Structures are given as structure tokens and as C-alpha cells.
């Protein structure tokens, strides 16, 4: 999934360490990452991502393509 987002021109970092997911989410939230995508087996099979926004905002589960479009819209409105 990271490669798909990179192919759309988006900056992506993957955290594939063996740490617990809650620890990784907390760690990246403290770094003020704009969006955190959580992808487990269920999400991978369905082609979806669980999205968390800055400030602990839970944006729910959405298809990867919808999230990519949301990012592009965010980028367009900033410029």
C-alpha cells in the first residue's frame, strides 16, 4: 500500500517494527505526523486503511484510493 501512495506522488514512511501497534501510534502521534494509517491483515485484504489524523482524530476506515484523493485535496487547498 505504501508503494501505491508513493506512486501517486505522496511522501510515505512505513513502520514495520515488531512493536505493539498502540506504542507505534503513540510514538508517531508525538512526532506530529499529519496522518497515521493503520493497516492490518483485514485492511490489506479489503484494500482499506484505518486513518488517524493529527491530534488523535479518528477518521475511520476508508478505501486507499479515497484516502489518496483526500490527501491530494488537502495539498491543493494549501497551495
DSSP 18: S
What are 37-78's pLDDT values in tens digits?
999 899 999 999 999 988 878 999 999 999 999 988 988 888
Is the alpha carbon torsion for 12, 15, 16, 21 positive or negative?
negative
Q: Give the pLDDT of residue 79.
A: 66
| pTM score of the predicted model | 0.81
Q: Give the pLDDT of residue 49.
A: 95
Domain count, the chain: 1
Q: What's the CATH code of the domain at 17?
A: 3.40.50.800
* Gyration radius (Cα) of the chain, Å: 12
Structural domain of residue 63, as residue ranges? 2-78
Amino acid at each position: 500500500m505504501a508503494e501505491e501512495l508513493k506512486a501517486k506522488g505522496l511522501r510515505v514512511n512505513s513502520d514495520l517494527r515488531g512493536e505493539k501497534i498502540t506504542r507505534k501510534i503513540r510514538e508517531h502521534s508525538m512526532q506530529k505526523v499529519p496522518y497515521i494509517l493503520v493497516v492490518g491483515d483485514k485492511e490489506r485484504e479489503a484494500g482499506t486503511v484505518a486513518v488517524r489524523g493529527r491530534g488523535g482524530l479518528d477518521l475511520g476506515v476508508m478505501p486507499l484510493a479515497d484516502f489518496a484523493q483526500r490527501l491530494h485535496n488537502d495539498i491543493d487547498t494549501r497551495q
